[in-house]
């Protein structure tokens, strides 16, 4: 299918020919971004326009609500090109992973990696990360990762940041007791924004944090951490490390 679309794309772009059998509006869009078509090539792992209710039912069946499922459920928001999810899926074949991402090309790249590595324990959703609570059954998630979210640095943009008071409420809804939210960012302002949201709240436990991940991580009991998110690096994380930029990290636990 992908090969066919590539060929059609080449013929049309290259020669100016037009195939009248194709829906012109769809075709016009696909000429601009052929990955809009490729996202349909991986029906087992990539869900391009998921219906929240239907997927929640499938998730509940597969993972089990409130502790009845086998294996842990990990969710990543803004999964990019999938490096973290694929590496995690390889390290933890008994666990289940769901990645939210908006960009077609990155979703397709992720699906290709899954195919190469023969992984079926990852689902990719083309859906807004903010809507994770509509897909994940209550108290089903063991780990939720947000890694290098768009920082929206200007004060006028702060309302667009993924983490907000409402986000924390939705997080509390889907995490199991003892479940952990992991944030990594290269943006000190974003890190401070999240710490400010947590200030004075008794309903979360700050389990670990760092203002220079990969150099030192502090935990509440002062010991080094074995948290999974610290061990596996994302694509952007590797880039920042290569540029000697600090990575800020926090792990927030929903108390038992």
Ligand X SMILES: C[S@@+](CC[C@H](N)C(=O)[O-])C[C@H]1O[C@@H](n2cnc3c(N)ncnc32)[C@H](O)[C@@H]1O
* Least separation in angstroms between CB 132 and ligand X: 9
Residue placing its CB nearer to ligand X in the complex, 19 or 150 = 150
Cα 62 from chain centre: 19
Stretch of residues binding ligand X (CB under 6 A), selected from 41-49, 89-97, 146-154, 175-183: 146-154
107, 113, 118, 123: CA torsion to nearest 10: -20
Binding mask 211-240 for ligand X (x = CB under 6 A): -----------------------xxxx---
How crowded is residue 71: how many other Cβ atoms within 10 Å of its Cβ? 16
Provide the pairing of β-strand 96-101 with 122-126: parallel
Instruction: Kindly name the residue from 41, 95, 150, 186 that is annotated as catalytic.
Output: 150
Stretch of residues binding ligand X (CB under 6 A), selected from 40-48, 53-61, 123-131, 167-175: 123-131
Residue placing its CB nearer to ligand X in the complex, 45 or 65 = 45
CA distances from residue 250 to 70, 99, 169, 193, 256 in whole angstroms, order as listed: 27, 20, 18, 12, 19
> Can you point out the beta strands (E) in 35-118?
46-47, 73-77, 96-101
Length of the chain: 256
**Beta-ladder partners of 175:** 141
Closest CA to 147 of 252, 217, 250: 250
Q: Which of 34, 69, 80, 179 binds ligand X (CB under 6 A)?
A: 80
Q: Quote the longest CA-to-CA distance of the chain.
A: 68
Residue placing its CB nearer to ligand X in the complex, 12 or 131 = 131
Residue placing its CB nearer to ligand X in the complex, 12 or 173 = 173
Q: Which of 38, 42, 123, 148 binds ligand X (CB under 6 A)?
A: 148
Stretch of residues binding ligand X (CB under 6 A), selected from 50-58, 126-134, 136-144, 207-215: 126-134
Residue placing its CB nearer to ligand X in the complex, 128 or 195 = 128
Q: Is 150 in the site for ligand X (CB under 6 A)?
A: yes
Residue placing its CB nearer to ligand X in the complex, 103 or 207 = 103
> What contacts 163, CB < 8 A, 6 or more positions away?
146, 149, 183, 190, 193, 194, 197
Q: Is 110 in the site for ligand X (CB under 6 A)?
A: no
Q: Which of 129, 194, 209, 228 binds ligand X (CB under 6 A)?
A: 129
The question of whether 226 is a catalytic residue gets the answer no
**Order of strands across the sheet with 175-185?**
46-47, 122-126, 96-101, 73-77, 141-147, 175-185, 248-253, 205-212, 216-219
Q: Is 99 in the site for ligand X (CB under 6 A)?
A: no
Q: Is 102 in the site for ligand X (CB under 6 A)?
A: yes
The residues that touch ligand X, with contacts defined as CB under 6 A, are: 77-80, 100-103, 106, 128-130, 147-148, 150, 234-237
Catalytic residues: 150
């Amino acid at each position: 299918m992908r090969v066919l679309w590539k060929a059609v794309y080449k013929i049309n772009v290259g020669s100016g020919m037009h195939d009248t059998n194709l829906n012109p509006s769809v075709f016009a869009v696909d000429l601009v971004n052929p990955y809009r078509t490729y996202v349909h090539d991986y029906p087992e792992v990539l869900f391009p326009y998921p219906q929240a209710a239907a997927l929640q039912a499938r998730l509940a069946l597969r993972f089990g609500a409130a502790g009845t499922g086998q294996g842990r459920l990990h969710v990543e928001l803004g999964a990019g090109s999938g490096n973290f999810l694929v590496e995690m899926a390889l390290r933890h074949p008994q666990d289940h992973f769901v990645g939210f991402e908006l960009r077609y090309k990155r979703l397709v790249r992720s699906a290709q990696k899954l195919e190469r590595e023969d992984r079926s324990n990852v689902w990719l959703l083309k859906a807004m990360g903010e809507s994770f609570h509509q897909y994940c059954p209550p108290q089903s998630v063991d780990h939720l990762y947000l890694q290098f979210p768009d920082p929206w640095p200007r004060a006028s943009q702060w309302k667009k940041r993924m983490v907000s008071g409402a986000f924390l409420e939705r997080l509390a809804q889907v995490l199991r007791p003892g479940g952990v939210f992991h944030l990594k960012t290269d943006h000190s302002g974003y890190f401070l924004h999240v710490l400010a949201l947590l200030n004075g709240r008794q309903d979360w436990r700050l389990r670990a944090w760092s203002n220079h991940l990969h150099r030192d991580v502090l935990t509440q009991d002062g010991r080094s951490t074995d948290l999974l998110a610290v061990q596996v690096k994302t694509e952007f994380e590797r880039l920042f490390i290569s540029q000697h930029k600090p990575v800020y990290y926090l792990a927030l636990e929903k108390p038992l």
